[in-house]
Chain A
Amino acid sequence: MKQIKHIALLFLVAFILLPFAGCKKEKDIIYEVNDVDINQPNANKDYVKSLTEFISIAYADLFGQNISQTQLQGLAVPYSGFGDLKLIEDMIIKNFLNNPSVVMPTDEVMRTNVDQFLLDTYQKFFNRYPNEFEIWYLKGLINDNSDITPELVYYSVMTSNEYRYY
């Protein structure tokens, strides 16, 4: 009986002291490096772009300016009228790419510095940096295939699954 009382007392004391036990002020440690805003490869992109988001973002990515409301409404028409959205997106992107106002590096610029082209492309379209494997693979592909143009890379990126998400 006495032993049970002791145990109960111990628990009571521990319970009273518990809130104070973990209260230790955290030190601010500065490692003297600049803050960098980096999205990890395959960062959480859980949301599918809406119709208007997809068109607006694609337009801004390719033309470097915001789409007008009138253009947006016009482009939304076929989007609503067909059930395979990827097919319509593919067609919209191909129509965008056929527009002479598209802002795109030349083939020469791409091949002069493939790494930089890939960094820029990933940031522009996927809003993240490519990982080492992605750079290695795509760099090899571009270097080994003289017929791969920036246009083809842009088209592939913009019709990929990742581009449909944010």
Chain B
Amino acid sequence: MKRRGFIKKAAATGAAAFVAPYILPSGRLFAATGTRIVDHVVFCLFAGGVRNLESVHKADGNLMPNTLLGNESISTDIASGIQSIGMAGSQRLQEVGTLFKEFRFNQGPTGHFSGHSSVMTGVYNLQDINIRQRPQTPTVFEYYRKHTDPNASALNAWWVSNSLGPYPALNFSTHPEYGALYGANYIQPSSIISQGSYDALGNPKVFTQEQQDKVGSMRTFFDNNFGNQEVLGSAGVTNTIADKVAIESFILQAFEAAVAGSYNNPWGIGGLSGDQFNVFFAEKIIEQFQPELMVVNMQDVDVCHTNFTGYANNLVKADYALGHLWQTIQSTPGMADNTVLIALPEHGRNAAPNTVIDAYGRYALDHTNDDMSREIFCLIAGPTGKVLQNQVINQVVGESIDVVPTIAKILGFHDQIGGMLPGQHLDAAFV
């Protein structure tokens, strides 16, 4: 009996040794084995608070002609306050993907940062949010970078935000097993491409490669002699030396282009709005680096707190930007037909207006947790054969926290984070 027990244990040990996971240099037990749907995801937070009523339900006409099918005319009372921009491309995004018309931001306060944080971490924030702190749960960037094999560099992950405040903190979390090491490159283009930044960064001392090598040697010496451990994340996300050089060069080129006037009317529609400029710069990053995961947001529609017609007008501009973003993706080698674009608002707006009336006689709208402020849409566009084309889902399907698992599925690391997130991947959108 003892002998049989011994043989059993020995066999079990042998089998365990045989299947024992190979510990990778990254510290992970298994290499990522997930199959990718495509190699790139661009996630556009069509944020600022967009009601389904004005977007997919077209209560005031089709204010999103680059995204939605239909030629419903804009309500006559506000039509003169809406700038007609037209189409950025020949196709409407709805035609090249799946539109979830009744998506939901189910839990947590319907605030901008709360909405951003929930959709970028895949977890609703149900407690008070400290906007001075990073999220406690990992962001989609960290899941992606940690669980992609080989580990993806920060150059592959970008968070392009249209505003400062708490938003820079969304490029990585304080989670002890993730954090800065797996964070994204955060950039706020309107801060970087500014006179202040040009004055500060635009005229650097140029060193030769040989000089830079010497500097590298000395800096390594200083760092090795610095007894204190560097606090991880104290300098934000860290790029490799080669990537730093590439990013610096990219920023300096952007300065040159801005100074030369190339950014004054780059889309041929006149000066760009804040949202449009943010997307425009995201496109520059796409063209330069072809990142595997990018999150870019827009928020200009939030003027709706005081100006409904301005909100509708900014919805038109944001829609144009989204259409232009798709066109850029499709004209970028490596990303064309190899990218899924996801777009959704972070939350909606209230059914009942506040007391502010705009110049067109329309009441303004806040977003304070009523049912309508939780109603949003979600568009998933992508290549034929990967994403179901021209599909509209009219039932209540999907919620904000499903976006991270969906990105994980698209980029092939869903199995690695299985069970860590409450959301589901949005299978209904894919072939």
Contact = CB atoms under 8 A, between A and B. Distances in A.
Q: Do A and B come from one complex?
A: yes
A83 B222 contact: no
Contacts of B196: 73-75, 77-78
Nearest to B184: A83
Q: Please classify how large the interface on chain A is, using the bins under 10, 10 to 19, 20 to 34, 35 or more.
A: 35 or more
Given A48-B231, A83-B237, A164-B234, A155 B215 contact: yes
A151 B248 contact: no
Interface in B216-237: 217-219, 221-223, 225-228, 230-231, 234-237
Contact of A162 (B194, B197, B210, B226): B226
Interface string B178-193: 0000011111111110
Nearest to A97: B205
B298 interface: no
A155 B214 CA distance: 11
A141 interface: yes
A47 B78 CA distance: 55
B423 interface: no
A73 B214 CA distance: 32
B31 interface: no
Nearest to B228: A45
Contact of B228 (A77, A82, A95, A165): A165
Contact of B235 (A44, A84, A133): A84
A20 B189 CA distance: 71
Chain B interface size, under 10 / 10 to 19 / 20 to 34 / 35 or more: 35 or more
B202 interface: yes
A53 interface: no
Contact of A84 (B188, B219, B238): B238
Given A42-B228, A98-B204, A147-B210, A81 B191 contact: yes
Contact of B219 (A77, A97, A159): A159
A74 B244 CA distance: 22
A92 B201 contact: yes
A83 B185 contact: yes
B94 interface: no
A68 B239 CA distance: 31
A138 B221 contact: yes
A44 B227 CA distance: 8
A143 to B, nearest CB: 13
Interface string B244-264: 100110010000000000000
A123 B84 CA distance: 63
A137 interface: yes
A161 B188 contact: no
A42 B188 contact: no
A145 B225 contact: no
A95 B204 contact: yes
A77 B200 CA distance: 9
User: In this complex, which of B187, B191, B194, B202 has the most chain A Cβ atoms within 10 angstroms of its Cβ?
Assistant: B191
B164 interface: yes
B130 interface: no
Contact of A161 (B168, B171, B187, B223): B223
Interface of B: 154, 159, 164, 168, 171, 183-192, 194, 196-197, 199-207, 210-211, 214-215, 217-219, 221-223, 225-228, 230-231, 234-239, 244, 247-248, 251
Interface of A: 41-42, 44-46, 48, 73-75, 77-78, 80-92, 94-95, 97-98, 133-134, 137-138, 141, 145, 147-148, 151-153, 155-157, 159-162, 164-165
Interface pairs A-B: 5 shortest CB-CB:
A81-B191, A83-B186, A42-B227, A94-B204, A156-B218
20 contacts: A48-B235, A74-B200, A77-B200, A78-B200, A81-B188, A83-B159, A83-B236, A84-B236, A87-B248, A90-B244, A91-B201, A91-B248, A95-B203, A95-B205, A141-B217, A152-B211, A152-B215, A157-B218, A160-B226, A164-B230
